[in-house]
Structure 1
Amino acid sequence: MTLLDLTPRVATGDRLATLPVAIIGAGPIGLAAAANLLERGIDFVVYEAGDGIATSMRSWGHTRLFSPWKHLVDPASRRLLEARGWQLPSPERAPTGSELVELYLTPLAQVDEIQQRVRTGVEVVAVAREGMDRTRTRARAATPFVLRLREKSGEITEATARTVIDASGTYTSPNPLSSNGLDLLGMGAIADRVTPALPDVLGRDRALFAGRRVTVVGAGHSAANTLLALVKLARDEPRTTVTWLIRNAQAVRVSSSPDDELVGRAHLGSRVDQAIARGEITVLDGFEILRAARAGDAVELIGSRGGELTQHETDVVVNATGFRPDLDMLREIRLELDDIVEAPRRLAPLIDPNVHSCGTVEPHGFRELTHPERGFFIVGMKSYGRAPTFLLATGYEQVRSVVAWLAGDSAAASTVQLTLPATGVCSTDQAGGCCS
């Protein structure tokens, strides 16, 4: 495979022609964007806040994805790797997050032309136009973007770019525990007893849960995975108790439908149902959390259940309530977002979780991801806002279309398609659906 010369495809003499595309995030979608840009001969820089690539995915790497390998590798990345002797692992097998990182993303990030353009330990704290706040319009599209960066040393620097592709994800922006969407009252008093979604219950985090009363809050597949791990832990540590707290009457997203083409996902729901029937999981449904307090060494969750004020005491809380995009960093960017799910306005109707599962989301590309800020794109899980229906294959098609548009290939940019099972292929609640 012969790579193109890394010459930006814009008009000669235009200052933007001298600048790279900035990619925020070195997860699977950010690295896929890099591979597509490399294949198109467009220069880029990847900014990753973590110390290494795919930091968020590594944090839940112990969890197995629903999707098999054949749906988890970006086509451009695959071409790039196979030209260097790489082989796709067992196509029909679903890997863990760690396996996806070690067997696919790490080799991809080590491709020389990508490795030399990835800056780790650099957090993008804000994006704007050079010398312009969001109110200024004249010559805006011809003005470079400026990214404000926080280096690992704490130093604040800036860098310019011709285009920005935000693939920073949502894992570091969990929804709050409160039912009203605001930060939970009393959170400061219990913060040391609250863990993010998908903790490593049977490994790294075992000591935090063993022998304690544990409450998992959330109605999705991340919650289900954690519940099953806690059930297994309780068999070895009998004093461990498991409570599942949900705000609705039932967790409709954790189903055991026999029609689900993803066997691991269907099996997950049935295993949770069986554990509940055996009394290994206590379900506390219809509980809307209002505030929290410390009760000695325990945590007290105060909420409304059936219209009455009620309390639930526990030792550890797992926040598996889902995620939302961090939009603070984009305050000076002109965005067009849906009022409900905070996704790009043209994309939102296609992914509304009240209507769609990941299997019914239509393919989409640069048109649906376009904002009033020309040359700025939110891709990947962050593009879905608060909707949990994202799948990696969709993110790969997003960046393929966006990069084709940047290269001036309007035909390729406008032709978007996915070949997936009828039920869709979700990965995890951070990268779509969840794991088994």
Structure 2
Amino acid sequence: MVSEYLEPLAAHPALAPIVNYGHRVTKVTRVQPQGKGVGRTRSQGREDSLFLVRIETATGTEDVLGRAVIDASGTWNTPNPVGRSGIEAIGEIEAKVAGFITSPLPDPMGADQDRFVENEDITLLENVSVSSVVVGEQLTVHLADGRLLRLDLVVPATGFRPDLKPLTELRLDLDQIVEAPRALGPLIDSEFHSCGTVTAHGERVLAHPEPNFYVVGMKSCGRAPTFLLATGYEQVRSIAAYLAGDRAAADLVELQLPESGVCSTDLADSCCGTSNPGNIGFATGTLHGHAELVSAQKSCGSA
């Protein structure tokens, strides 16, 4: 994913000069062009104001101004807890600090290899509720049904949630169930939809009361797991068209999923892909994200 998609995309001549690394956004608010503050409660002149984005870098803190903000920060760093009903189990924070609870997507063959190499037995638990954990030589896990487990590591598969703390000074309209934009919530609720049944949507669905502010990508789905990269590409294209003044293009939203299903790649029949379409885990529709890369893949054997 990184070497074959993200790095080539970031190195594209149109993007490389404007991609900044090592920047973390901590706050987003609004200011007048002359510098006067525009808090959340101020409506007069809000549409004509600029965004002030506070950024932490290796060299310190700085503020950046812009006329629009598209939050594509994802949910990678905000996994759901292992505790029941959406809150941490008693002792969960201490267990994470002690290294007994890993990130939701560890790398057992790479960076996390040392943590997994001596643990040969795997216990898979589904639909369980953890009430408390106790740190010792092993991690003692108390389940809500009364069972007790002693484990070396816990790899949580509990899903993710959006980090909305940097956005508290903005006017957001969120679905009360999944914390997605209100108009998007019913389209992605995982009790009624899978990622393959989410309809195409763009700027109008993603808009908030805050003018020219959008959340896209995985974070736009809030707590719902029904996201595809192809959906995100179409979200960004629609918003970019709107910000460029092309309302017709912004409203023309389409979503083309691979014919073999939403869990396959659209490169399977190319000279550089596999001979048989297979479920390899990326329902990205690479064609939507970087057409030039796909062209290169398909022409690599034509000479």
TM-score range, shorter chain: 0.7 to 0.9
Say how many residue pairs are matched: 261
Instruction: Say if 2:83 and 2:92, in contact at 8 Å, map to a contact too.
Output: no
Instruction: Say if 1:145 and 1:160, in contact at 8 Å, map to a contact too.
Output: yes
Q: Would you say 1:129 and 2:30 are equivalent positions?
A: yes
Change (3 A) 1:327 1:337: same
Which residue identity is paired with 1:194? I
Q: Which moved more, 1:414-423 or 1:371-380?
A: 414-423
Task: State how far apart, in whole Å, the 2-side matches of 1:363 and 1:170 are.
Answer: 21
Aligned-pair identity (%)? 46
Secondary structure of the residue aligned to 1:106 is helix
The equivalent position to 1:288 in structure 2, one of 129, 147, 150, is 129
Counterpart of 1:162?
Answer: 67
Which residue identity is paired with 1:299? L
Counterpart of 2:281?
Answer: 435
Secondary structure of the residue aligned to 2:205 is helix
Counterpart of 1:148?
Answer: 54
Counterpart of 2:214?
Answer: 377
Task: State how far apart, in whole Å, the 2-side matches of 1:210 and 1:111 are.
Answer: 38
Counterpart of 1:331?
Answer: 168
Shift of 1:206: 2.3
Change (3 A) 1:424 1:397: farther
Instruction: Say if 1:193 and 1:317, in contact at 8 Å, map to a contact too.
Output: yes
Counterpart of 2:11?
Answer: 110
Instruction: Say if 1:344 and 1:371, in contact at 8 Å, map to a contact too.
Output: yes
1:83-232 correspondence runs (5 A): 97=1, 101-130=2-31, 131-153=37-59, 155-191=60-96, 192-212=99-119
Counterpart of 2:122?
Answer: 242
Secondary structure of the residue aligned to 1:124 is strand
Counterpart of 1:414?
Answer: 251
Give the CA RMSD over aligned residues: 1.9
Counterpart of 1:304?
Answer: 144
Instruction: Say if 1:359 and 1:423, in contact at 8 Å, map to a contact too.
Output: no
Which residue identity is paired with 1:435? G
Change (3 A) 1:380 1:423: farther
Task: State how far apart, in whole Å, the 2-side matches of 1:419 and 1:188 are.
Answer: 42
- Where do 4+ consecutive residues of structure 1 move more than 6 Å? none
Secondary structure of the residue aligned to 2:155 is strand
Gaps of 5+ in 2: 32-36, 265-278, 283-303
Task: State how far apart, in whole Å, the 1-side matches of 2:196 and 2:58 are.
Answer: 40
Which residue identity is paired with 2:244? A
Which residue identity is paired with 1:150? E
TM-score by structure 1 length?
A: 0.57
> Greater helix percent: which structure?
1
Task: State how far apart, in whole Å, the 1-side matches of 2:30 and 2:263 are.
Answer: 35
What whole-Å deviation, never above 9, does each CA across 1:393-412 have from its counterpart, x for those lacking one?
11000011101111111111
Shift of 1:107: 2.4
Task: State how far apart, in whole Å, the 1-side matches of 2:280 and 2:80 are.
Answer: 17
Task: State how far apart, in whole Å, the 2-side matches of 1:317 and 1:423 are.
Answer: 34
Shift of 1:290: 1.1
Shift of 1:202: 2.9
Change (3 A) 1:405 1:424: farther
Task: State how far apart, in whole Å, the 2-side matches of 1:424 and 1:363 are.
Answer: 16
Change (3 A) 1:362 1:423: farther
Higher relative contact order (CA 8 A, sep 6+): 1
